[in-house]
Amino acid sequence: MSDLFIIGASGTRAYRTALAAIAENIANASTEGYTRRSVTTAESGASTATMAYYTARANFGGVQVMSVNRGADPYLDATVRLTTMNLASASARLRWQGDTEIALNDGSTGIGQLMTGMFQNMDKLAAAPGDTSLRVTTLDSISRIADAFRQTAADLDTVSSGIKAEGDSAIASANASLAALADINNSLLRAQPGTSAYAQLLDSRDAALQTLNANLNVNISFGARGVAEVSYGGQTLVSGDSAASLSIAADDKGRLSLSLSDGTALAAPANGALGGLFSAASTVADRAADLDTLAGQFVANINAWHAQGVTDGGAAGAPLLAFGGSAASVTALGLQPEDLALRSTDGALNGNLLTISSTLRGNGSVEQGWTALIATHANLLGATKAEYTTAQGRNDQAVAAREAVSGVDLDMEAADLLRIQQAYSASAKILQMAKETIDSILQIV
């Protein structure tokens, strides 16, 4: 009779644990990073008996809980980390390349269209070189281009500062993940494998690795009891319960560099959000350098063109613009309408204006350089958009594959809940029947 109590009690204990696992699954069905739990049971070893009429061949031991399991697949987890890393990189580059395109401003107030408007005003002035209002309009159009160069440089600098700020945030997130992994490693070494606490620690470990990998293309390996070992560029970032710290810096051009907190230089990230930010920062720096080159060429060409002309008073054309080495320094020098050198040296009233097409436009001109700059960035942005779409699709597929194994299906949990509930009730019924049988025997006695 004692066997019935042992079997019934072991069943209620086991199915109570199974019910708790199902309840945990249902409660965390929408919890990000949660991995479905299940309980493994096994037949309990037959207990010994001290009764005089004990029959070994009829002895049963009931059931026991062996472990609480996570529905995780290491391969699928690694695949999701990889696709998430690729998506984060493409997303960062797409966002900041889009902002760079806005900063370059190829609209009506941008350098390209203002330059076209300047040439149109010069063409009109060539037809009436003595018209003061057209001279004022021409000087204003040159001044507006100078303003546009400065504004574009400022906007690119703002984009560069935004990238650095996001980089700082990504580094803070990565450092928090590294510190969390060290703490989790310490707890994993103390936790008992197969317990719910151990499963929860593994969920926390995977969530920290997911966040870290989304920011930086680290190398991950696992040791005893699931302890994570993380390295990057030949440097160990997490080993056991110790973690390193990362930092980034930007040079005067906005390009980023990565290092350990102790100053040890590291290679630039090739992937993850930080990889995307490093790439975007380099792109912005390249665009700013191209802009500076175009600004210097524009100032030199305009001043050279004007110097070859003659004013109405017979003086050589004075510089129209000043250049201090960058697009941010381009300024109009405020010449008056009568200071425009529109005549040629042979005395033609519009002689210098007639040389505009040969000296300021055509092959190698600033106008063509600007068009090439915009086209180059547009092609890069288009390629990044395609890469982002591909990365998004692959990540969605990887997440769906992992969720099929690790995710919680409420329909399945509801079915399991009914099944386990019936088994629990049956085990409780065994205890009730054993008690009633004992009571009946005692009443007979």
The two beta strands, 242-243 and 63-70, are: unpaired
The reply to whether the predicted model has a pTM over 0.85 is yes
* CA dist., res. 270 & res. 267, Å (int): 9
Task: Output b/e per residue, 211-247; b: 16+ Cβ within 10 A.
Answer: bbbbbbbbebeeeebbbbbbebbeeebbbeeebbebb
pLDDT band (50, 70, 90) for residue 93: very high
CB 330 within 8 A of CB 322: yes
Secondary structure (DSSP) of 90-113:
HHHHHHHHHHHHHHH--STTSHHH
- One-letter amino acid at 170 equals A
pLDDT band (50, 70, 90) for residue 362: confident
Element (H, E) at 416: helix 410-444
pLDDT band (50, 70, 90) for residue 45: confident
pLDDT greater than 60 at residue 47:
no
Give residue 276's pLDDT: 97
* CA dist., res. 185 & res. 229, Å (int): 9
Ramachandran sector of residue 59 (left: φ over 0; alpha: ψ -120 to 50; beta: rest): beta
In the chain, pLDDT over 70 holds for what percent of residues? 96
In angstroms, the first-to-last Cα distance of the chain is 16
pLDDT greater than 80 at residue 432:
yes
* CA dist., res. 85 & res. 88, Å (int): 5
pLDDT greater than 90 at residue 2:
no
Matching residue, tokens 């019935």: 4
Give residue 438's pLDDT: 82
What's the rounded mean pLDDT across residues 146-161? Answer: 97
Which token pair is 347?
A: 């005395």
* CA dist., res. 263 & res. 279, Å (int): 22
Give residue 46's pLDDT: 61
Cross-strand partners of 221: 229
Distances (CA, A) of 128 to 84, 125, 342: 63, 5, 11
- Helices marked H in 226-271 — which ranges? none
CB 444 within 8 A of CB 15: no
Give residue 384's pLDDT: 97
Give residue 419's pLDDT: 93
Longest CA–CA separation in the chain, Å: 141
Which token pair is 86?
A: 């690729």
pLDDT greater than 60 at residue 166:
yes
SS (H, E, C) 50-91: CCCCCCHHHCCCCEEEEEEEECCCHHHHHHHHHHHHHHHHHH
Q: What does the pLDDT look like over 114-136, one tens digit per residue?
A: 999 999 999 999 999 999 999 99
pLDDT band (50, 70, 90) for residue 381: very high
pLDDT greater than 70 at residue 16:
yes
The two beta strands, 219-222 and 37-43, are: unpaired
Give residue 48's pLDDT: 52
* CA dist., res. 319 & res. 333, Å (int): 7
DSSP state of 267: P
What's the rounded mean pLDDT across residues 227-234? Answer: 95
What's the chain's Rg over C-alpha atoms?
Answer: 37
